[in-house]
Amino acid sequence: MSETGTFFNELHGPSGDPRRPYKEYSKWFEGEDLSRLRKKSQEAEQFFRRTGITFNVYGQDEADERLIPFDIVPRVLSAREWDKLTRGIDQRVRAINAFLHDIYHRQEILRAGRIPVELIANNDAFLPQMIGVSPPGNVYTHIVGTDLVRTGEDQFYVLEDNARTPSGVSYMLENRETMLQMFPELFSKIRVRPVQDYPTRLSRSLSACAPPATSGRPVLAVLTPGIHNSAYFEHSFLADNMGAELVDGTDLRVVDGRIAMRTTEGYKAIDVLYRRVDDDFLDPLNFRPDSMLGVPGILDVYRAGGITIANAPGTGIADDKAIYSYMPDIVEFYTGEKALLENVPTWRCSDPDSLAYVLDNLKELVVKEVHGSGGYGMLVGPAASKKELAAFRDKLEARPANYIAQPTLALSTVPILTKAGLAPRHVDLRPFALVSPQGIDLTPGGLTRVALKKGSLVVNSSQGGGTKDTWVLEE
């Protein structure tokens, strides 16, 4: 177990002995034959291939469907660590929902001067069509994916909030299923909290957000952009495991003031639509008229209380990276408490002094597009060439308000299996919170993304990262 560094090592304590969460796993690993584990790793890859767990990569000349690499060494969190994260995420998600309700109603946070008005008024993610609209149960973000990074024993930071259509939960579930098949003996030795009931919890949470027009048991459906979307596997996986219908825009129409889906027995009204289509494409009558992915008139039905859309239109304003920099203020404004989970220090390039600092220190910083995602449109200064730095400098000077910058964090490492044994690699974590009028339900685990290349800090699957099973231990 070599390759130690200055980063917080989640496997080993300062003495070199396994940290408490990893003790049982380490004891098991020491008794294992490396060649057997490497064979198991190959079996896991075949399992993923047979199951069809792929993602599509846009703009690539090679085959667009790829397998996300899976590492068979789990990431292990103690019950105490998970409790800390649970309290922090619960607080943050409550604040995000309160912020969204406020920003589309009285806008008290703007009146109080805690957020600049122009940050909302000039933001493409803010939907004027949602002003005055209250979704069923006042739930805006039914599913939230909070990206976390770790830099020390008790130091976790929120890297970003995913409040629009967070993806990756199917990998969390399939990673666990794979581990259960590969190493059933491990789960009899180590008490790991289950994640397999997530689809049931999702179905229950969404059903609790059904609109007033619902009669009887709520009818759920998942709206997908179609088979060419990068997360199509997840859309079909979740619909199948929730017992919901998988639909696209051509399957839906307005019937008697409701959104109805085509069935063999005619059109059937939908109560809750878990949409995986972006706001712009949701309704060609209200947003992009050229959209072929949405449903004409769905926003009007929604505003009239005829359907629940999860997540609500307009939630993107809450995970905008410029808004992110104000999250500590947002949490305090709506909860009256200091944020339990810290933000990564952030420079807003729209501010001239911040821009000057960022330009002077570009090679030390990570710079991100305000609306960017998936690891695209970002600069990792320490890993960038002189040419890349110069090109990004031009972008920053041309459109400073389009970017934020952050320090390069010393991300924690967890072990992966290599030919030589275990080696540390950098990771982040995306737990998934379900929100309903009954409260916030956090599945114990989440998606751990790992930078498989030695020294790399970029964990996105589209940029060469892989995934791991995330274990939260029982008390």
Over the range 395-414, which residues count as b (16 or more CB within 10 Å of their CB) and which as e? ebeeebebbbbbeebbbbbb
Architecture of domain 345-407: 2-Layer Sandwich (3.30)
Strands (E), 54-190: 54-56, 65-67, 70-77, 143-152, 155-162
pTM given for the model: 0.92
> What is the structure's pLDDT at 460?
73
User: Is a pLDDT exceeding 90 seen at residue 389?
Assistant: yes
Q: Place 466 in a pLDDT band, splitting at 50, 70 and 90.
A: very high
Count CB atoms within 10 A of the CB of residue 67.
Answer: 14
CA-based nearest residue to 274, from 213, 212, 205, 228: 205
Over the range 425-449, which residues count as b (16 or more CB within 10 Å of their CB) and which as e? bbbbbbbbbbbbeeebbbbbbbbbb
Q: Place 374 in a pLDDT band, splitting at 50, 70 and 90.
A: low
Say if residue 311 is preceded by a cis peptide, omega within 30 of 0: yes
Q: Place 377 in a pLDDT band, splitting at 50, 70 and 90.
A: confident
Give the helix/strand (H/E) hosting 79: helix 79-103
Q: What is the DSSP string of 63-76?
A: -SEEEPPEEEEEEE
Q: Quote the distance between the C-alpha of residue 195 and its chain's center.
A: 16
CA-based nearest residue to 249, from 275, 271, 228, 269: 275
Residues 6+ apart with CB under 8 A from 299: 129, 282, 283, 285, 286, 287, 313
User: Is a pLDDT exceeding 80 seen at residue 62?
Assistant: no
> What is the structure's pLDDT at 1?
32
Distance linking the first and last C-alpha atoms of the chain: 27
Domain residue extents for the chain: 20-211+307-341+409-472, 345-407
Q: Place 63 in a pLDDT band, splitting at 50, 70 and 90.
A: very low
Contact at 8 Å (CB) between 29 and 433?
no
Contact at 8 Å (CB) between 373 and 314?
no
More confident residue, 59 or 104: 104
Q: Quote the distance between the C-alpha of residue 20 and its chain's center.
A: 28
> What is the structure's pLDDT at 276?
96
Q: How many CA atoms lie within 13 A of 19 on its CB side?
A: 18
Contact at 8 Å (CB) between 82 and 472?
yes
Please state, in angstroms and rounded to a whole number, the distance separating the CA atoms of residues 32 and 35: 9
* Token code pair at residue 53: 């767990």
Q: Place 64 in a pLDDT band, splitting at 50, 70 and 90.
A: low
Contact at 8 Å (CB) between 371 and 320?
yes
CA-based nearest residue to 434, from 85, 82, 89, 76: 89
DSSP state of 351: S
Strands 421-430, 413-418: pairing is antiparallel
DSSP state of 270: -
